[in-house]
Amino acid sequence: MKIITSISEMKQHMTEIKRNGKTVGFIPTMGFLHEGHISLANRAVSENDFTVLSIFVNPTQFGLGEDLDRYPRDFAHDCSLSETAGVDVLFAPTVSDMYPNEYSTFVEVEKISSVLCGASRAGHFKGVATVVNKLFHICLPDRAYFGQKDYQQVQVIRRMVSDLNMDITIVSCPIVREQDGLAMSSRNTYLSTEERKQALILHQSLAFAQELVGTGERNAVKLIGEITTLIQTSPLADIEYVAVADVNTLKAVESIQGKVLLALAVRFGKTRLIDNIVLEV
Amino acid sequence: MKIITSISEMKQHMTEIKRNGKTVGFIPTMGFLHEGHISLANRAVSENDFTVLSIFVNPTQFGLGEDLDRYPRDFAHDCSLSETAGVDVLFAPTVSDMYPNEYSTFVEVEKISSVLCGASRAGHFKGVATVVNKLFHICLPDRAYFGQKDYQQVQVIRRMVSDLNMDITIVSCPIVREQDGLAMSSRNTYLSTEERKQALILHQSLAFAQELVGTGERNAVKLIGEITTLIQTSPLADIEYVAVADVNTLKAVESIQGKVLLALAVRFGKTRLIDNIVLEV
């Protein structure tokens, strides 16, 4: 596995790969890799001639007071996991190469970026869309792989790629969970033992929602009420939102018909966790 | 010359051209072509294996009350001029194909977009950056050609391409003028006979500035004062701005050193004209 840190070297390398007619799979990450990321890498390796995984803790997607400074990092372990997964190039650019002085261009996906996580994390999806747009131009993927845990992120990227006529297939992969059900996230490392235990209420509440819908519940407000009540049985859980939304536009829906997204954001202490499920009736 | 109006057909066509290893030159225009555009086409044809010229009156770069509805059009004449210039594909997409329902992604080049023309035309350069970004993804150019009359536009596009790591060379070409000195513009067609006559004050004032700098003037405020006074001798001229700015950042400069941009925007009746010169000492 080759490790590249310079943007210009990476562009040159990938231009050559594309010139040779190879298909490229790409997994953009912020590092501190876990099995969720590796599932994306495995899929990319199986579907493409060449696989790139990027590691970049992107400052423009963190708001003031968020966890940019303490975001977990373990580059050596990330290298080892990536190599084992069959990644061909690990791309790890520096902040000053990605955002040089006088940097001033931002990509904004309006509407869909302002709901759910976007409502509390101002500018977050603008930072995400911008960095992914840059990484796409540098890494020249045919297919890019994202985890469905960040459901809204995937929809924002899909919208950007479609709106800006980029020739990239966005592949959304299932959430990978710990054995006890907690959705894998680099941020799980922040949780205390007690918080970690109580955080199980997230996936339990998704399972409960599925059960309620299975027994006939079609009213989104009632469903949200039931889920909220359940989550509140965990004393450390501080709910940011429980939402039932259209799977494409992410607009709130009143009635559960066809496929709808149930999405949660809940804080445990300083740690903000998200989880979601697509309900189908 | 092939005429293509569908985005998907154009993408397919250009992907094939690129696969064959051809270099692509691209001239994005809003049509109603004049010799300025044709000078860009000639240069593109001479420097690339394949040349694309696009015609699209882009609604997102017009503000409320601007001239979107009456922007001049002559598609048949544009085709004839393009074909004569050696253009290989004329791409003329529809508004609904470029901006379908639920379209929501915009590219914003901050700072540089807010001065000069950007100060009075809110959102104009956001529309320009967005449409050019889309056209670049569709037409896959190696080089894109822009007229220096729209100096700020060229700088916005350069910044976007650099910031978003797009692999495209931006070529800025000299202003083409009518025999009497008026910078060519599709909007010149709006001018009445008297306005057309008085509009000559624009390029005369640029020549005067060059003369003043040639005889030692280094004070930007004084230079702007002299130019303003000269333009005001044309009773129909309504000055929007006369500015002396850094050639790269477009920030106002106080002293004329090295290369500086002198840029003008002046209205004659309903018609807004711009012109500029790079002064060098």
- Give, as one character, the DSSP assignment of residue B26: E
| Facing A110 at nearest CB: one of B106, B129, B249 | B106
Predicted pLDDT of residue A251:
96
- Does the residue A116 lie in any domain? yes
**Cα A206 from Cα A91, distance rounded (Å):** 35
Confidence grade of residue A96 (pLDDT, cut at 50, 70, 90): very high
User: For the residues A50-57, what does the mean pLDDT come to?
Assistant: 98
DSSP-assigned letters across all residues of A181-235: SPBP-GGGGG--HHHHHHTTHHHHHHHHHHHHHHTT--BHHHHHHHHHHHHTTST
Residues A59 and A87 in one domain: yes
Say yes or no for a CB contact (<8 Å) between B105 and A129. yes
Residues A221 and A155 in one domain: no
Only one residue has tokens 């235990």, namely A197
Say yes or no for a CB contact (<8 Å) between A111 and B104. yes
- Pick the last residue of a domain from B150, B173, B196: B173
- Does the residue A180 lie in any domain? no
B97 touches chain A (CB under 8 A): no
Distances (CA, A) of A36 to A1, A81, A274, B78: 20, 12, 14, 53
- Does the residue A163 lie in any domain? yes
Q: Residue A258 belongs to a domain with what CATH number?
A: 3.30.1300.10
**Structural domain range at position B18:** 2-173
Helix (H) or strand (E) holding B249: none
Predicted pLDDT of residue A126:
98
**Cα A18 from Cα B118, distance rounded (Å):** 38
Residues A105 and A219 in one domain: no
Residues A125 and A244 in one domain: no
Residues B140 and B241 in one domain: no
User: For the residues A195-205, what does the mean pLDDT come to?
Assistant: 98
Say yes or no for a CB contact (<8 Å) between B165 and A138. yes
Confidence grade of residue B15 (pLDDT, cut at 50, 70, 90): very high
| Facing A104 at nearest CB: one of B105, B109, B167 | B109
Say yes or no for a CB contact (<8 Å) between B138 and A165. yes
Residues A65 and A197 in one domain: no
Confidence grade of residue A73 (pLDDT, cut at 50, 70, 90): very high
Confidence grade of residue A212 (pLDDT, cut at 50, 70, 90): very high
Chain A CB contacts of B169 under 8 Å are: none
Q: Are A131 and A61 in contact (CB under 8 A)?
A: yes
- What pairs with residue A266 in β-bridges? A239, A273
- Does the residue B79 lie in any domain? yes
Residues B63 and B140 in one domain: yes
B72-120: pLDDT as tens digits: 999 999 999 999 999 999 999 999 999 999 999 999 999 999 999 999 9
Predicted pLDDT of residue A217:
97
DSSP-assigned letters across all residues of B158-206: HHHHHHTT---EEEEEPPPB-TTSPBP-GGGGG--HHHHHHTTHHHHHH
- Does the residue A98 lie in any domain? yes
Q: Residue A97 belongs to a domain with what CATH number?
A: 3.40.50.620
Helix (H) or strand (E) holding B95: helix B95-98
Predicted pLDDT of residue A193:
97
Confidence grade of residue A84 (pLDDT, cut at 50, 70, 90): very high
- Does the residue A279 lie in any domain? no
Confidence grade of residue A129 (pLDDT, cut at 50, 70, 90): very high
Predicted pLDDT of residue B168:
98
Q: Are A155 and B185 in contact (CB under 8 A)?
A: no
A163 touches chain B (CB under 8 A): yes
User: For the residues B218-224, what does the mean pLDDT come to?
Assistant: 98
Pairing of strands A271-280, B2-4: unpaired
- Give, as one character, the DSSP assignment of residue B255: B
Q: Are A274 and A188 in contact (CB under 8 A)?
A: no
Helix (H) or strand (E) holding B254: none
Say yes or no for a CB contact (<8 Å) between A137 and B15. no
Distances (CA, A) of B16 to B9, B12, B92, B140, B262: 11, 6, 19, 11, 43
- The residue of A9, A105, A128 whose CB has the most chain B CBs within 10 angstroms, and thus the best one to mutate to test that interface, is A105
Average pLDDT along chain B: 97
- Give, as one character, the DSSP assignment of residue B197: H
Domain count, chain B: 2
- Provide the shortest C-alpha distance from residue B87 to chain A (in Å): 23
Predicted pLDDT of residue B209:
98
- Pick the last residue of a domain from B148, B173, B198: B173
Q: Cβ of A112: how many Cβ atoms within 10 Å?
A: 23
B180-211: pLDDT as tens digits: 999 999 999 999 999 999 999 999 999 999 99
Say yes or no for a CB contact (<8 Å) between B105 and A163. yes
Residues B164 and B193 in one domain: no
B160 touches chain A (CB under 8 A): yes
Residues A149 and A62 in one domain: yes
**Cα B171 from Cα A249, distance rounded (Å):** 39
Give catalytic residue positions of B: 37
Residues A114 and A167 in one domain: yes
Chain A CB contacts of B164 under 8 Å are: 105, 107, 130, 133-134, 137
B7 touches chain A (CB under 8 A): yes
Give catalytic residue positions of A: 37
**Cα A91 from Cα B210, distance rounded (Å):** 49
- Retrieve residue B204's tokens: 């005369």
- Does the residue A92 lie in any domain? yes
pTM of the full predicted structure? 0.97
- Pick the last residue of a domain from B173, B204, B226: B173
C-alpha atoms less than 13 angstroms from C-alpha of A68 in its C-beta half-sphere: 14
As separate numbers, helices (DSSP H) first and strands (DSSP E) second, chain B gives 10, 10
Residues A156 and A222 in one domain: no
Predicted pLDDT of residue A261:
98
Predicted pLDDT of residue A220:
98
- Does the residue A280 lie in any domain? no
Residues B167 and B201 in one domain: no
Number of A/B CB contacts below 8 angstroms equals 78
Q: Which of residues 184-203 of B touch A (CB under 8 A)?
A: none
